[in-house]
Each structure stands twice: as C-alpha cells, then as structure tokens.
Structure 1
Amino acid sequence: MSQLLSAMAALPRPPSAHLQRERLEDRLLARNYRLRLLCAPAGYGKTVLLNDCLRRRQAGVRCLWLDLGGHTPSFAQFCLRLADGLGLEPKAAADGDALLALLESSKLCWWFAFDDFPADACAELNAWIDRLLRSQAPVQLWVSCRQRPAWKLARLLLEGELLELGAGQLAFNGQELETLAERLDPLAGPSSLAQLWLQTQGWCAGVRLLLGTESRNERAGGTWMREYLGGELLAFLAEDQRKLLLSVAYLPRVSIGFCARLWPERDAGTLLRGLLQSASFFQPLGGDGQWHRLLPAVALALQGELAAAELKRLRLDACRLLCEDGFIDEAIELALSTQQPEMAASLMERLTLDWMFSERHLHTWLNWLTRLPERTLESSPNLIYLNVRALLSSWRLDDAQTHIARLAWAMPQPKARNNSRLLANWQALQGTLYGLSGDADSAREHCHSALQHLELRDWPSSFLCYSTLARVSMAAGEPEQARLLLDSSLQLARRHRCIASEVLINADRIRQLILNDELALAESVLQECLALVAADGGSHDLLLSRLLLLRGELCLLRGDLQAGESALRAGLERGTESSDPYVLHALIGLSEVASCKGELWQAQQHLRNAERHMQRCRVSEACYKGLIDYQQMRLLVRQKDWQAILPLARNAISADIGRLPPLHAPSLPQRLQLMLALAELGTGKPEHAAKRLQALLAACERLSFRGLLAEARVALAEVGKHSGVNCADEPTALVRTSLLADWRATPSGPGARDGLTSREFSVLQLVAHGLSNQEISERLFISLNTVKAHTVKINHKLGVKRRTQAVMRAKSLGMLA
C-alpha cells in the first residue's frame, strides 16, 4: 500500500505553440466530479486540456496517466498497466476485485487520466470501470475519447457526478483563434480569420494546420489536412464506411433516411448511423437531430477521391432527393456544381420571397445571378420577378431596370387575364424602382395602378406596392398617409404569415417613430420584432441586422455611445454577410460614434469604407451619396470648418431639387438644411441662418420630425444670441452626444439617463406622453406592479415625489425632449 501512495505517473510534455485554455480548465476544476469526460473527434485538444488540468491539481492529489491511444486492451492488459502505473507488483493486477479493493483502501485522492479511451472496449473492462465509479474509492476519472463509453453515465449525471464536454465546448472560441493566429500567422487579416472560422468552426487541429501553411515550405494546408485525417479518421474506419464518408464529403447535408435512399445497395443508412455514433466530424443541422453535415474543412480535405462521372451522378441524384425533401437552395448549388444552369434556374422559381429575405439568402441569390448565364435568368416571368426583387432590395437600380425590361418578351399573354396580371406585377416592380430613384409621381402612378389589378395570389406585389407607397409618403412629407399604408402592409404580411415581410415593414414603422421622437414606442416595437425573430428560429441574419441597426440608432439618440457602437457593429457584421445595403447606416452610425469620441480620423475611415462597400456592391449612387455627404458635413461641424460645409450643403440640396430623398432616409433634405444654416451662422450670416431655420422649424412641425425639431430650436437660439434677439421658446435640452448639445449650457450630471436603466427610461418616456400605468403595462408587456415599481425608482433617482415632477425634472436634465 505504501508503494501505491508514493507512486506518481509522469505527464506528457505540452506541445509547441501551446495555448492555455483557462476558461475550460476553470470549468473542469470548479468542483469535484467522479467523472470528467471529454468526448470529441480527433484534434479537439482533449489530451492537452487533460494535461493542463492535471498540472493544476491540488496539493496532496496523486495522478496517474494512461495513454490508451484508441487501441483496445484486454481487461488483463488494462489492469497490468494500471498496476504498473501505480507502482504495484504485477501480481496485484491479476485480480480486478483485488485491485479495486486496494484503491478503496487508499487514504489519498487519486486522479486517473485515461487518454483516448477506445470506443470498443471489452465488456469486462467497461463493467470494472462502472464498479470503480460506484465504489467508495477516492478516485476521480479524467477520460478523453472519440465515442462515448458504454458506462452507466445517466446515473452519474443525475447524481451530479458527471461533467461532459463535447466538440462544441472544446473548440476554440473566437478570442482563442485570434490569439493563436497572432502567434502562428501575425499577418492574417480579419477576412482570413473569418474564413478560417467558417471552415473549421474552431476545430483545434484544423485551425493549427491551416494557420501553419506558410511555415511548412508553402505546402498547401489542404494537403496537411488530408494527411492528418488519413491517420486520425480514415484509418479507423471499415472500407464501406470510408467509401461512404468520401462521398458524403461532396454533399451539403445528409440523414440516415436520405443516405438509405441515395445508396440503397450499400445499406448506407446503417453505415451513416455508425459514423454519427463515432463522432466523425459531423455537425447537426437544425434542432431535430435528423440532418448532419461534415465540418467544412474536413469535407474539403476529403474531396478528390471520386471519378468525374461518379461525382456528377452523385450530385444529380442528391439534387433530386434534396428537392423532394424541400432543401431547394442546396439542390440549386448541386445543380450549379454539375454545370446544369437550366435545372438551377428552374429550381430557383420554387423559392419564395420569405425565403429570400431570411437568414443570408439574399446574398445567396445575388451570388447565383453571377453564376447563371443571361439566357437562363429570363427563362420565365416568375424568375425575372424574383431577380428584380433581389436587386431592388440590394439598391442595384440599374441592374433591376435591366431585368424589368426582360419581362417584355413575355407580353402579351394569350389570355387577357394573364396579360393583365403580368402587367400589374410589372407595374409593382417599376413603381418601386421609381420610388427608390426619387420619382414620387411615377412611383405612385404605377403602384396605385398595380393594386387595382393584382390578384390575391399576387400578395407579395401588393405588399411591395403598399410598402413603397408608405415610404414615398414618409419621404414626401405625408406622415399620416405613411402610417396608414404601413399598417396595410403589416396586416397583409401577417395574414400570409410572412415573418420576413412583417419584420421588414416594422423596421419602417420604427423609422417613422424615431423621426416622430416616439423613442419609447419605437423601442417597444423593436423588442416585439426581436422576439418574433427569436421565436421563429434560424439565424435570420438580414432581419437581425436591420433590427440591430435600429437599436444602435436608438442608443445613440439617448446618448449611450457604448451600447450604440456594440449594436451597430453587430448589425454591420450580420448585414455584410447578408448583402444587406442597410450596412450603410451601420458605417455612418459608427462614424458618428467615432466623432463623438473625438476620433475624427476613424470617423472619416468609416465613411470611406461605406463608399467603397456601396460601390463594390454596385449600389446606385442616389441611394447612398447624399447620406455620406451629410455625415461628412456633421464631421465638419464638429471641427467648425464652416467654409468647407457651405459648398457641400448647397450642392447636396440643389442635387435633390425635384426628387425624393432616399426612401431609407426621409428626413435627409431637412437635415441638409440644418447643416447649411449652421454653416451660414458660422460664416457670419446669422440673418440667412435665422430665415432658413424658421422655415426648417415649420417643415419639421408639418412632417412630425420632432427629433430634428429640437436640434433646429437649439440652433435658432444660438442665432438669436449672435443677433441679440432672445428666443421666444426655451429650446429643448439635447442628449450629450447630440451635434448641438454643447451649444447651450446643460446641467452637470451623470448623463442622458441620470442613472436610469433602459426599462426605467422607457417607462419615463411613456409617462411623459401621458400614458397611465395600465397603458404602460400593456405597451411594454410588463405587469402593472412592475410599472409601479419602476415609477417609484424613477422618482427616487430623480429626487422627486410625483410623476409630473419626474417628467419636468427629466426635461430640465435634457433626458426628454
């Protein structure tokens, strides 16, 4: 027994470029477990992590390391190795019962590490380890494996004695990947790392091999990957499993049933089940656990083994089956990979607009347009329609006009009804194009005419007309008409259960509420949309991007730079990956954040990035130039470079005479007038500035642009100071991040919210609008008691006793307009 207590097994030496993973070590060492199980395919850092954890063991804890290498020892061989590691005589290993009794009599705690435990361990060995786990022996097991052992793990889990980490937990996170990249490839840029992440999903060995490509005599990373997988994956598979895996590497998704239909002669369903159980780098797709795909880096490395004819036949067969199962987009990719553009174009017609505007599918569709020959893009009126919708949503107006013109070949139709229907759909597209181009009269004429002839089944075009007319009304200064049209669009989307359309039209509603300075209600609608997207499942990157950009804008309007920047960056990332042109607002918002921080060079860089991105995406200049010029003027205002602003503002205003502003920036003309007025004041022309601001105030009142109205009043008060005339109305205090916030004395204090939480601030805004506690409860979807609790806290933080006093105090602090 003394031999056992004094024995100590040497731990393996850490590898080169070792990355300490304290987040996982801390989780594994947070408390004692009878069994810590690391179960994942090869290359997820299981051995290194076990090693690092054992080196951090507490004083007095003994450890034993057994490297099993995935090989299956007999029970006698295992006992012999265990006894040898414990420093016992070989005869002590002759009897498993005696060895277990010896361990139970130990007075010190032991950590046994069984590295790379085999998937097919013998029944006798598994039974003995089960007995060890149930015994009173002071032993904790640390086990790494590629397939979950046949032990009674459910019981351990119920008793709180099991901690299991799988591939998802063991993979590198983004920060760890960046840290490793700094060590192995310091020149790797953000785009390279993003691509590396998409390929590997943090798979440790894959990251290490692909990052190390340059340092290995420029040998392709894929070659090293194939070599690694040959020894760590393929060598452990039977021949029929190996053949199946090499074929699956070409497919976007597989399931047991799918494989059984695709290869009925192979019993492929059973083979795939075995591969899934052996954790052969498959990732689940969806929440039902039915469909899987190979890790992209692994799939790419395994490709190249099939003959061209066999590969083409495989892809075409898989394309047919994926269509049957409803995975049209993946079937299209397979059709394109087999040079079957007509088949791909035919399949594209089966997709819906709800599909196009969810997840990252708009990006996918635009990519297809670049890969299909022109003759296939005009193969049917429906395909042309879908192409135009994608191009209009991307603000590629010239390309959209080209595709709209292709509808001419389909007219006239043999039947008058079909001809009228086709013409109405054409008018919906053309009207929207006119609206985006700034031609309000033509947009209204075409959309109203379309609505008179569209059939019920053409509701997507009716929705397009209503939403276009709403945005045109908003930009043309008809807020009430815009609200009614937005409501009609929303009802239409809900009746057809189209989540994407509902969220997108709600984004326009939020935009109008922001213009009206109804920030609390805008926040409420925003939260409803976020909940709607979350409940629908899926990634929905395009929709989330739009909502995050609106959240960022709301944060900036309330003076919260940190939260605003965070939301804008998140929206920028999702929007860029979705080919959403609204990333323009993200980059302009980030420019504003940088300028508020005094980082003018960074603010300019964001504007340069915005212009470059719009041009690379072939966005029409009319959709972005005015907004970038406006933000450039705001930067010049912060620098008080009035001479530079004057020609910019005049040119921008004259360029927009007789045409609508961009539909996504309806208040742009009025904002340009404010810039020009400030420049006139700064260049010694207060009378010109006063006249312009008076007209701007009247326009903002008429258009319900109350947020801009507050800034115009502050500017007019400043003009009054310069001309010696007092302003009749006391200007509203602005949040500290506003462009004009420092133009009047503002009370010192903790900031725009004076210590209020986001929810308390929302309640305060609704109180200021005269809503009762019950109405606030219904509007914010919180209980009446919660509203009362918030009002008590608001009064306490503002140092008042009544609701009316709280509103007055908030206005004096510049928290409310």
Structure 2
Amino acid sequence: MQAHHANLSVQSGRAVVSAGQADAPDFRHRLITPLLGQHRLCLLCAPAGYGKTVLLRQAMQCLEEGSRVVWVSLAGKPLSLEQLSGLIATELGLPLHGGAAPALLRHIVDNRQPLRLILDDLPAQRSVELDDWFDQLLALPSSHFQLLVSARQRPGWNLPRLALTGQLQELDVRQLAFSRPEFNALVDANAASMSVDDRESLWQRSGGWCAGVRLSLSSGEGSRVLLREYLEHEVLTRIGEEERQMLFGLAYLPRFCAELCAQLWEEQDGARLFKRLLRGAAFCFPLKGPSKGEEGWYSLLPLVGQALQGRLGTAELGRLRLHSCRLLSIAGHLTEAIEQALHAQQPEVAANYMERLKPDLQLADGNLHRLLEWRQQLPEALLASTPRLIYLSVLALLFSGRLNESQTCLNQLNRFLPHPDPLEGQRLVANWQALHGTLRAAQGDGTSAGPACREALLYLDRADGLSQLLCYCTLARVAMASGELNRAQEILLQALELARREGCLDSEVLVNTDRVRLMLLQGELNLADALLQESLQLRAPAPMQIDPLRARLLLLQGELHVLRGQWGEGEATLLAGLRHARDCSAPFTLQGYLLLAEIAARRGSFEQSQLHVLEAERRMHCARVDSHLYQNGVSLQRLRILAHQGQWDILLAQSVPLLGRLQAPAMPLPPLLQPALVQETRLLVAQAQVMAGHSGLAVSSLRVLATECAQRQFNLLKAQARQTLAKLGELSSESSDREVSTNPVACSAEPAKMAEVLGDSSSALAGCYLEELTPREVAVLELLAKGLSNQEVSDKLFMSVNTVKYHAKNINTKLGTSRRTQAILFAKAVGIL
C-alpha cells in the first residue's frame, strides 16, 4: 500500500497540489464542488467502476496552491489499526512507530495547517478497534482536518452524528452514476451513430454505471468479454468460491432476497453467503417499487448480470430456474415466476401462473409487453385452455391495438358457454360483453359498443373491476367522439368513483387520461394542466423504467405544451413519454410521434418532421396496430406539414381522399384517442382554402364547422373557426348571411396578406376564443374598454383591485390574448362587446 499525491506525484511523503491544474472533465463536474466543501467527512460509497478514485483526483486538482493532501491507496485489503496509522504517519513525515494511532490523533489536533487525508478503497472487513479509531478521528475538535474516503460498502461509523451537525458529505450510487445528460454526452462523443433503441437499452441496462457504459461504448462487439474480465479482476477476486457460485446463479434471477437464497443454496447456508455478497457491494441493489412487497428484495445490475451469465452448467441452471420459479410464485411475484418457468421450458407451469395474474396488472410497468411475449412462447392450445387466459390475451391485444387478433381470441370464449353454474355463466357473458363493446368501439362501431357495455355493467360484480372500468371508459370515449361531452363527463366521474372505491391508483390515472382529453376538447387547458400534475403525483411513488400510464400522462402534457406554443418543453416531455412507452406496443404512442412532427414542422425542419411521421407509421406496422387507429391521423399530420410549407394547392388535392374516408355515409367513429379528427381535418382544409384564394368555400365551411363544434362543445376547434371567420370579417350577426363575394378583404387578399390575417392557423391559442366569459368578466371587460383604470373598475363594481386584476387575467386566458388592448379588440371582433 502506497501513499499518492492527488496528481500522482509524491514529494517527500507530502502531497502538495499546486494551483492552475487543468479543470476537471465535463463528465460529473457537478460533483467536484461538494467534495471541496468544509465537511469533516466526504464519503464516496459505491461498487467498483463508479469513478470514485477518478472523482477524488479531479477534485484535488481543483484545490488552491499550498493545500496539503495525503493520499493512501488501501486496495480494499484488510489491515490492522497499527498498519493504517503507521502508513498515515509515514506519509505525514512523523517519526511514529509503536502506539502511532493515539499520537496521530494528537498530531492532527495540534496541527494548524489544513490537511486533507484521502483513504482510497477502504476495506469492507475492518476490526472493531479500527472502526472505533475512525469514530475518534471524526470527533476531533480540529477544524483544519478533512477525511475523504472511497469505499464499496458504507462503513458502520457514527455517521448520523456527523449528518446532524452538517459535517457529512455522502455520495452514493445515485450521485456517482452518470446522469442521463452525461450519459447522452458520452454516447454522442464515442458512438454518435448508435440508434435510439440501442441507446435506450444501454441506459436501462447500465443504470449509469460509469465503467459499464465506457466499456460498452469502447469495445463494440467485444464489450461483454471486457466486462467479464473487468468483473473478474474487480469483483470476483475479492470474494470466495461459494460467493462466486451464488453470484453466477443470481445473474439469472430477476429478483432475490436472503430467504430465497437460503432455500436455493440451502446446503451452503445461502442467507449467510448472500449477506456477505451485500457487504462486498457486488452490484446487488435493493428494488424500489410502489408496494411494500419490494422490501428486502434485490436485483443485479442488468449489465453485470448479463456479463456473468454462462458460468453454470445446463442441468444446474435448469434446477435453479425451476426451484426459483416455485419460490417466486409462493412469494407472490408471478411475472418473474412465469419468466423462469418459460426459461425452464415448462409452458404448463407458466400458464398456470398466468391464470393467477390480476387483469389490471397490464396497466403498469412493462407487463403489457411481457404478456405479448408470453403469447409468442406458449402453445395456442394452452392460451385458449381457460376463460381467464383468453380474457388476459384479449386485454393485451386490445391495449396494443391489434383488433383483428382480439376478435379471433375473443370468439374462443364461446367454447365455455353455457356454463354449468348459471351465475358464473352470467358473469362470463358480462365480461365477454365488456371486451366485445370495447373492441367494437375501437373499430369505430359506437352503435354496437354502447349497448354491449351498458348491458355488461348490469351483471359485472366487484371482482370484475377492470371490466367495469373498460365499459365506463368505452362509453365515455364513444360519447366524446359523438360530441356528447356532458354525457362523457358524467360517465368518467362514475368510473373515477369506482377506481377510488377499489383503491386502484392505476385505474384512477387511466380514467384521468380520458378526463384530460375531455378538458382539452372543451378548451379547459388550465384544468387539464392541474389534473395532469395531480395524476403525475399519483405515479410518483412508482418510479418504473417502463410505465405506460406515466407515458400517457407525459404525452398529454406534451400536447398541452404544443397547444400553448411551448415547443421546447413539449418536445422534451414527449420524448420522455415515448421512453416510458417504448417497449409497449400500444397505439397511444402515435400521438407522441405526430406531435414531434408538428413541432419540427413549426420550426421549419420539414425533413425531420417527415421522419417523425415515418417513424410513427413504422411503430404502428411493427406492433401490428389496426390501420383504423392510425391511418387517418397520419394523413392529417402530413397535410399539416404541407400547410407549414405553404403548399396550399397540394394540401387541398391530397385532402380529398382523407375527407372522402372521414365523411363517407358509413364512416365509423374516429379513433377514440382522436375524437375530433373529422373536425380538425375540415378546419385545416377550410384554412387552406382561404390561403389558396377560395374564401367563398371556406367561409361556408367555417360557419357550419363553428356551429357544429359549438353543439359538440369542441371549444378549441370552435375558437379556431370563429377566429378565422372574425379575421375575415364574417363573424358578426349582421353579416352572417352576407355573401363572401361582397367582402373585399376575403376576396382580394393575397396569400401573404392572408397569412398575416390568420396568423398561426394551426395554433389553438393564437388569439383564440377558448372559453365563454362569465357575466362578471364581461362587466369588467366593458369598463376596461371604456378606458377605466383598475381602481375605477373596482369602485364601479364594488370589488377589490386584486379581484379586478384576477378577472383581467382570466379574460386574457379565455380569449387567448396577452394584453388588455388585444382582449378588447378581439372581444369587439367576436361580438362579446
């Protein structure tokens, strides 16, 4: 063991860091400042490869000239108190031999020159005597001494006392690992051509593990070999043979705990071995989830687990999987038990465990993706062997947008009717109706969907909570697409009450996504924003890597940002949402890619916009999503891109087939996630007609559309139609019947001038009339229009000045304006004043 200077040069046993050293690299530069503070103890605690030594060196290079540093590399090897104190004394230049430990403490107290003592790679195994000495060292009254320690296991010192007095700076895996921006910067610097999927996979498998990321990026196909060699030197050589064998087995287990290890390695005293592995910090991290059932459970870092696989024989691995499969199922971790059964080539066992899954499990985590994978691995006869398995399969296919496959699978329930038990037969039929109604609605057949769901609700009981929720949500979505928004709101409130009474947060969040969609249609953006924030808080206790519900919330939040013209925030939120949904082949991801295309088009990046649309189509094709769920939405976005390019004639020509499909006599309901698709298309076409000089046709279409949207309470679209009419001079009641040919503005304006009149016609908030003003707000606006000050309005209406300001703010929000003068002008244009 040797003492090293922070810049790796030793001068007479004393380490002096001179000023003017090069700045630390950008990676993890955020951690330098915490290490240079005045804390008595800076503790860096993490497994191998988290850059603890590198970070300490970088920090020491940032010290001022004259700082005194002693660096002792301990290499994780056990040593006595006498050995350690002797090493430190030697590096301090002290003539201490026997009894060096007490003398060393006295020297530190008496010494007035600031000293930083660095102990790199503190051993996990230490004597009680050594730990007692460290507690004495850390309790010294000297204010000129700082101890910096890197370790793979948190030492059992009196750390709470140091924390209470503000003398502890502790960095663990959470801080030492690469952050996502640092990871992205490293990938850009070393593997810029890495695909988005490969990048995301590496991030999820590495968890920001510094060594793992760097080795994976630097060695390409040979990264697994390098990782194995790294782990051999840094981890396996520090543990015994029994611990190594256990670690090789744990590499195949999705989760483990002391009790599980005790039964899997009963002859070797598995619980004792597991605790020794934990003390050795062998990348066994505690699982954190929303339920208390995660307490005491651990998993290997995926990148480490994959690198350690291949060390067990076939027979031994088979026994391990079967044994762990049974134990995991007993512990209630059915998804992991199913995975182990399938790996052990026991499909009957896997199917048996699948029957015990709760249907609402598909709402969270990556379970939807897992169920689809299991369907590929299980024989079809097994998947159709019980009503429960058929129900789970239909749900997975429905949520994934694979409607034709859903229908085929759903038909198999007929084989179990009539049921010997009349009551159970009635429940089976009710669940079939719930699925059938949801499927018919997704296919656009609201006429069949409504009766099926309403009848199902008569016979479903408390045990069929998810089927009840499906019925309510389906009925609400059909009502939205049919323009019955009040009815939709009533149904969603019933669904919300059901979810809350069942205590299912996942179901509550699912209902809230539909409530947000309803609020966006009604133009209640502030309410939608508030509900989104509340729902995201409900997901906060469940920090999962793949979370379809969080994905839906983030995609809706991204849409809200786009509606408000916040392109940067919208793009970041949409990308975050797509990351949570990446492994889930659900059709709701379509909206995320189309919104990204819209943002790119508004920025003038038309090629990038087209690429987003193509990626949306690719995702839908690969996931085998039914074309009804995405085809028309994709076509509309392509028209919007043409609008941003100003190619009005091409837009009008290419809109013909889309309008033909949407306005056909037998046209089904629009996709349930895009209830206003028909009206959005008609509005865009009308605006294109204006820009192409066909204002006569446009005004007629806009009048009909504004009336229809008002009846349906599609207030955002109504606002855009009214805005266009107002700026064309066609909104006032006196001129509503006047032919557009008599309007010189509408007839003679050049396209460039018309663009100025319309502004950003695709923005929902660019001067739009978003929501009706209350009588009180109209009264305030009338007085403001007369030129009265806030105080004068206050006196006239017998309200406080703050209340006047509050009403003025609400008026701007509802009218889509930013200043008082704009609000007054717009209110006059649309007939409010």
TM-score range, shorter chain: 0.7 to 0.9
Which sections of structure 2, spanning at least 5 residues, go unmatched? 1-9, 731-738, 746-753, 781-798
Cα distance in 2 between the residues matched to 1:753 and 1:698: 19
Q: Residue 432 of structure 2 aligns with which residue?
A: 426
User: TM-score, structure 2 length as denominator?
Assistant: 0.84
Q: Residue 664 of structure 1 aligns with which residue?
A: 673
Aligned to 2:219, the other structure's residue is in SS state coil
Aligned to 1:354, the other structure's residue is in SS state helix
Distance change >3 Å, CA 182–CA 432, structure 1 → 2: closer
Q: Residue 740 of structure 2 aligns with which residue?
A: 723
Cα distance in 2 between the residues matched to 1:397 and 1:814: 46
Shift of the alpha carbon at 1:741? 8.3
Q: Residue 743 of structure 1 aligns with which residue?
A: 757
Q: Does 1:545 align with 2:526?
A: no
Aligned to 1:212, the other structure's residue is in SS state helix
Cα distance in 2 between the residues matched to 1:566 and 1:813: 35
Cα distance in 2 between the residues matched to 1:70 and 1:130: 19
Q: Residue 783 of structure 2 aligns with which residue?
A: none
1:262-411 equivalences in 2 (<5 Å): 262-286=264-288, 289-411=295-417
1:140 to 125, 146, 159: 146
Cα distance in 2 between the residues matched to 1:544 and 1:38: 33
| Native 8 Å contact 2:390 2:409 kept in 1 | yes
1:644 to 626, 650, 653: 650
2:241 to 239, 242, 259: 239
Shift of the alpha carbon at 1:765? 10
Q: Residue 122 of structure 2 aligns with which residue?
A: 117
Cα distance in 2 between the residues matched to 1:452 and 1:149: 61
Cα distance in 1 between the residues matched to 2:261 and 2:381: 35
Task: Provide the alpha-carbon RMSD of the alignment.
Answer: 3.7
Shift of the alpha carbon at 1:20? 4.8
Distance change >3 Å, CA 476–CA 132, structure 1 → 2: closer
Count of aligned residue pairs for this structure pair: 768
| Native 8 Å contact 1:470 1:485 kept in 2 | yes
* More moved, 129-138 vs 716-725: 716-725
Q: Residue 7 of structure 2 aligns with which residue?
A: none
Cα distance in 2 between the residues matched to 1:397 and 1:766: 48
Q: Residue 621 of structure 1 aligns with which residue?
A: 627
1:680-699 equivalences in 2 (<5 Å): 680-699=689-708
| Native 8 Å contact 2:341 2:349 kept in 1 | yes
| Native 8 Å contact 1:428 1:464 kept in 2 | yes
Aligned to 1:662, the other structure's residue is in SS state coil
Q: Residue 786 of structure 2 aligns with which residue?
A: none
Cα distance in 2 between the residues matched to 1:789 and 1:115: 64
Which deviations, in whole Å up to 9, do the C-alpha atoms of 1:571-627 show, x marking residues without a partner? 222222333321111112122222222222222222111111111111111111111
Whichever residue aligns with residue 276 of structure 1, its letter is: L
Cα distance in 2 between the residues matched to 1:128 and 1:199: 40
Q: Residue 735 of structure 2 aligns with which residue?
A: none
Aligned to 2:633, the other structure's residue is in SS state helix
Distance change >3 Å, CA 96–CA 674, structure 1 → 2: closer
Distance change >3 Å, CA 183–CA 560, structure 1 → 2: closer
Whichever residue aligns with residue 355 of structure 2, its letter is: E
| Native 8 Å contact 1:110 1:140 kept in 2 | yes
Distance change >3 Å, CA 536–CA 147, structure 1 → 2: closer
Q: Residue 34 of structure 2 aligns with which residue?
A: 27
1:692-711 equivalences in 2 (<5 Å): 692-711=701-720
Shift of the alpha carbon at 1:519? 2.1
Distance change >3 Å, CA 636–CA 185, structure 1 → 2: closer
Aligned to 1:114, the other structure's residue is in SS state strand
Shift of the alpha carbon at 1:356? 0.8
| Native 8 Å contact 1:661 1:669 kept in 2 | yes
Shift of the alpha carbon at 1:380? 1.0
2:613 to 593, 607, 612: 607
Distance change >3 Å, CA 413–CA 697, structure 1 → 2: same
Whichever residue aligns with residue 667 of structure 1, its letter is: A
1:673 to 682, 690, 695: 682
Q: Residue 774 of structure 1 aligns with which residue?
A: none
Which sections of structure 1, spanning at least 5 residues, go unmatched? 729-739, 755-760, 772-786
1:501 to 503, 507, 523: 507
Shift of the alpha carbon at 1:478? 2.4
Q: Does 1:633 align with 2:674?
A: no
Aligned to 1:120, the other structure's residue is in SS state coil
| Native 8 Å contact 1:477 1:702 kept in 2 | yes
Aligned to 1:395, the other structure's residue is in SS state coil
Shift of the alpha carbon at 1:453? 4.0
Cα distance in 2 between the residues matched to 1:469 and 1:797: 36
| Native 8 Å contact 2:431 2:467 kept in 1 | yes
Whichever residue aligns with residue 232 of structure 1, its letter is: E
Cα distance in 2 between the residues matched to 1:534 and 1:634: 35
Cα distance in 2 between the residues matched to 1:790 and 1:503: 36
Q: Residue 522 of structure 1 aligns with which residue?
A: 528
Q: Residue 532 of structure 1 aligns with which residue?
A: 538
Shift of the alpha carbon at 1:427? 2.3
Shift of the alpha carbon at 1:810? 7.0
Cα distance in 2 between the residues matched to 1:154 and 1:257: 29
Distance change >3 Å, CA 154–CA 694, structure 1 → 2: closer
Q: Residue 49 of structure 2 aligns with which residue?
A: 43
Cα distance in 1 between the residues matched to 2:718 and 2:772: 23
Aligned to 2:170, the other structure's residue is in SS state strand
* More moved, 317-326 vs 440-449: 440-449
| Native 8 Å contact 2:597 2:613 kept in 1 | yes
Distance change >3 Å, CA 640–CA 155, structure 1 → 2: closer
Shift of the alpha carbon at 1:49? 1.2
Whichever residue aligns with residue 409 of structure 2, its letter is: H
| Native 8 Å contact 1:262 1:318 kept in 2 | yes
Aligned to 2:575, the other structure's residue is in SS state helix
Q: Does 1:811 align with 2:823?
A: yes
Cα distance in 1 between the residues matched to 2:414 and 2:701: 47
Aligned to 1:484, the other structure's residue is in SS state helix
| Native 8 Å contact 2:434 2:471 kept in 1 | yes
Whichever residue aligns with residue 690 of structure 2, its letter is: L
Cα distance in 1 between the residues matched to 2:254 and 2:776: 53
* More moved, 593-602 vs 122-131: 122-131
Distance change >3 Å, CA 647–CA 433, structure 1 → 2: farther
Cα distance in 2 between the residues matched to 1:602 and 1:356: 33
Q: Does 1:156 align with 2:151?
A: no
| Native 8 Å contact 1:83 1:93 kept in 2 | no
Shift of the alpha carbon at 1:399? 1.5
Distance change >3 Å, CA 71–CA 6, structure 1 → 2: closer
Aligned to 2:364, the other structure's residue is in SS state coil
Whichever residue aligns with residue 811 of structure 1, its letter is: A
Shift of the alpha carbon at 1:348? 1.5
Which deviations, in whole Å up to 9, do the C-alpha atoms of 1:250-291 show, x marking residues without a partner? 111111222223333332122212222332211111266411
* More moved, 688-697 vs 146-155: 146-155
* More moved, 200-209 vs 523-532: 523-532
Cα distance in 2 between the residues matched to 1:789 and 1:245: 70
| Native 8 Å contact 1:588 1:606 kept in 2 | yes
Cα distance in 2 between the residues matched to 1:416 and 1:673: 51
User: TM-score, structure 1 length as denominator?
Assistant: 0.86
1:258 to 257, 260, 271: 260
Distance change >3 Å, CA 790–CA 575, structure 1 → 2: farther
Distance change >3 Å, CA 599–CA 788, structure 1 → 2: farther
Q: Residue 590 of structure 1 aligns with which residue?
A: 596
Aligned to 1:187, the other structure's residue is in SS state coil
Cα distance in 2 between the residues matched to 1:347 and 1:741: 62
Shift of the alpha carbon at 1:367? 2.2
Distance change >3 Å, CA 810–CA 313, structure 1 → 2: farther
Whichever residue aligns with residue 582 of structure 2, its letter is: T
Identity %: 40
Aligned to 1:230, the other structure's residue is in SS state helix
| Native 8 Å contact 1:720 1:727 kept in 2 | no
